[in-house]
Amino acid sequence: MKWIDAAYVVLREAGEPLDKRELSDRILERGLLKTNGKTPWETVRARIQTDINEKAEASRFRQVGHSFTLREHHAAPQTPGLPEHSPAPEPRLGSKATAGTRAAATRAGSAMSFADAAEEVLQRSGSREPMHYEEITKRAIDRGLIRPEGKTPATSLNAIIGTEIRQREARGEQHRFVRHGRGLLGLTEWLPLGLATEIADHNREVRTKLLQRAKEGSPADFEQLVRTLLLKMGFDAEVTNLSGDGGIDVRGTLVVANVVRIRMAVQAKRWKANVPAPVVQQVRGSLDTHEQGLIITTSDFSSGARKEAERVGASHPIALMNGEQLADLLAEHEIGMERQSHTLFRLVESDMET
């Protein structure tokens, strides 16, 4: 069986969007495929993305945020009161959420982020034509995808998308959105395959290798890497003593406008296995007053760890950063890699005319 067919089988059984890691995990757990590759999630992502780009509307798959679903799952009759091409909204929590938490959010009617809502509106438009950000915002509000609190939600949505484009540019990632001028926005997946896709694939491979290098170094090297990242992000950070630190590896302080002070205590986990809930509890118990906790791992987190980190009423907030997020930030701040630029020529019309 091919990756693309195995993905179809798993998504049809799931009945809901799955991100690349969940999808590859289920394919392997079901025994549909076997692989010795270290990044099967990238393989399945590339196969599905290529299928979508080459076949467009004829593809069996659709991309929803950072996840994938089947077109047949969105072919139900229209919900009364919603415009054409606009099935009842399916809120998402992003690529790091589990299938269970996404389903719970859908039942509870949770709102999307502005960027995810914009992507949803554009995908459901049915035209593959750029749309003005004010119209995107209006449709997102009308469909209950976002619940803005400010007086200028369209301006906020446009600014958020601009920030995402700049961040993905800094990380060498392919953009979700494309600006066409005069406030018009489209999706990158609507563009034909070309140099931009090749560059994004190359940069994704570099980030994977960078994360692998972090996994292969010593624990002390990884702690120094985390410190370097915090310094690049504006923190005054130091590695703690090896003993008596309560499990905390790096402590840092971020001062904003000489007024706000954010104290961060970080535990660095150079692990292959997922970080479990007891580690989150240990970090929370090691925090000083007014400190926030952060766990950075080269692997990922168990569902129990994520629930513990988000537990309502806990004494201290704990943030989680997995290996993929770490690699993205290392790339954004050019740690362990460098940005290269090349001259690219294109033809123009009138210069050859006499």
Of 303, 279, 276, the residue nearest 97 (C-alpha)? 303
Segments in the chain forming alpha helices (H): 3-14, 20-29, 40-55, 99-108, 114-124, 133-142, 153-171, 195-216, 219-232, 277-285, 303-309, 323-332
DSSP letter for each residue of 107-141: HHTPPPPHHHHHHHHHHHTSS---EEHHHHHHHHH
User: What pLDDT score was predicted for residue 82?
Assistant: 35
CB 185 within 8 A of CB 136: yes
User: What pLDDT score was predicted for residue 132?
Assistant: 93
Relative orientation angle of helices 3-14 and 20-29, to the nearest 10 degrees: 100
DSSP letter for each residue of 165-217: HHHHHHHTPPPSEEE-STTEEEEGGGSPSSHHHHHHHHHHHHHHHHHHHHHHS
Neighbours of 61 (CB within 10 A): 19
Amino acid symbol at 289: T
CB 44 within 8 A of CB 27: yes
Amino acid symbol at 321: M
User: What pLDDT score was predicted for residue 276?
Assistant: 93
Q: Rounded distance, CA 24 to CA 45, Å?
A: 9
* pLDDT tens-place values along the chain, 354 residues long: 788 888 988 888 888 788 888 888 888 888 888 887 777 888 888 888 877 877 777 888 888 767 888 887 655 433 333 333 333 333 333 333 333 333 333 333 446 788 889 999 998 888 888 899 999 999 999 998 888 877 888 888 988 888 888 888 777 777 788 888 788 898 887 776 666 677 777 888 888 899 999 999 888 899 999 999 999 988 999 998 755 555 789 999 988 777 788 899 999 999 989 999 999 999 998 888 888 999 999 999 999 999 999 888 888 889 999 998 899 889 888 898 887 766 666 666 655 555
Of 339, 335, 337, 338, the residue nearest 225 (C-alpha)? 335
CB 228 within 8 A of CB 333: no
Q: Rounded distance, CA 103 to CA 120, Å?
A: 17
User: What pLDDT score was predicted for residue 170?
Assistant: 76
User: What pLDDT score was predicted for residue 62?
Assistant: 85
